Amino acid sequence: MTELRIAIVGFGKIARDQHVGAIAATAGATLAAVASRNASLPGVPHFATIEELLEKGPPIDAVSLCTPPQVRRAQAAAALAAGKHVMLEKPPGTGVAELDPLIAMAEEAKRTLFATWHSRYAPAVEPARAWLLTQRIKSVHINWKEDVRVWHPGQGWIWEPGGLGVFDPGINALSILTRILPRPVFVTAAELAFPANCQAPIAANLTLSDIGGLPVTAEFDFRQTGPQSWDILVETDQGRMTLSGGGRRMAIDGETVAEAPDQEYRELYGRFVKLTATGARDVDLAPLRLVADAFLLGRRNIVEPFVD
C-alpha cells in the first residue's frame, strides 16, 4: 500500500496536540513536511508558507490545513490547483459560499476535499445516533462551556471576523447534533454576547427546531472556569440520553452504555486515507450553516471587554 504523504500547513496547538500523533498512528499515512511561519518539527522538512512548500518542498500527496479559518480558502485553492488532496480542520472556512468553488475545483481535479468534524468521531456519537433512531425525541439541550484561556491562549484570530469566537467549540456540538438527530434542524433565534473589544462572541444561546417542531436549545460560553462542560441532553419517551465529555460517554438515565478513549483524529485520518484512494469528497456544511444562521438571526449584546 502506497503511503499518503501529508504536509501539515499551520503548526499551532491543535496540529501539535492532535494531528502529528494521529498521522503517526494511521496506517497508510506519513507526515512529509510542515509549513508554518512560527513553528517547526524536528526532523521534518519545514517551509514558511504553503506556496514555498508547493514550490520547493519534498513530494507530497495531500495537505492538512490547520491554519486559522480566515486564510484556508486561498490555501486550499492553491493545494488543489497543484493537484493535492486537501483536509480542512474545522470550521472549513469563514463562510458557507466560499466552499462551493473549492468543491468544484476538487471535483474537476478528481482530488479529495475533506471538511472535518472531529467531534463526530467521538466514540459514543454513533451509538447515540443508532439509539435515537428508535426513540421518540421530546427535546434536546446542549451545554457546551469551556475556558478560552486554556484552549486558545493568545490566539487573537479567534476574536476577529471569521474567527467564530465561542462558536469555534460550539460548532463541535452542532456537528454532533446534526449527526445524531434523524431530521435536519434550523436556527429560530439566538442571543450573542460580544465583548466590547472583540468582533466575535464570547457566549451564545441558540434556539433551534426541526420541521416537526422539536425544541432544541444550546448554551455556549467561553468564560467557564474549573470543570469544563461538553454535554448534550436528549429527552425521549424511553428516558434521558446524555452525551458527555464531548461525545466520549453515552448514558441512559444515568447508566453508562458506551464509553471509550478519544481517538477522534486518528479516525479522521483513517477516513482521509480512504477518501484519497478514490479521490472522493466529503464536505458536509450543515454545522457551518447553523453558525451562519445564528449570526444572521442573533441579537447582539455588548458585554465587558475580553483580556487574555
- Give catalytic residues, as residue numbers: 90
Dist. CA 221–CA 225, nearest whole Å:
10
Q: 246 near 230, Cβ under 8 Å?
A: yes
In terms of C-beta density within 10 A (0-12 exposed, 13-18 middle, 19 or more buried), how is residue 97 classed?
Answer: exposed
73-77: long-range contacts, CB 8 A cutoff, minimum separation 24: 73/98, 73/99, 73/102, 75/9, 75/50, 76/102, 76/113, 77/101, 77/102, 77/105
Cell of 269: 485520518
**How far, rounded to the nearest angstrom, does the alpha carbon of residue 2 sit from its chain's CA centroid?**
28
Q: Which of 117, 220, 94, 222 is nearest to 164 (CA)?
A: 94
Q: How far is CA 184 from CA 48, 142, 211, 236, in A?
A: 41, 16, 8, 17
The type of residue at 18 is: Q
Q: Give the integer Cα–Cα distance in Å for 230 and 142.
A: 8
- CB-count burial class (<10 Å; 0-12, 13-18, 19+) for 154: exposed
Q: CB within 8 A of 57, min separation 6: which ones?
A: 7, 32, 33, 35, 45, 47
In DSSP terms, which residues pair with 236 in a beta bridge? 137, 239
Name every residue whose Cβ is closer than 8 Å to that of residue 205 and which is 6 or more positions away in sequence: 190, 191, 217, 218, 219, 220
Distance CA(171)–CA(220), nearest Å, equals 10
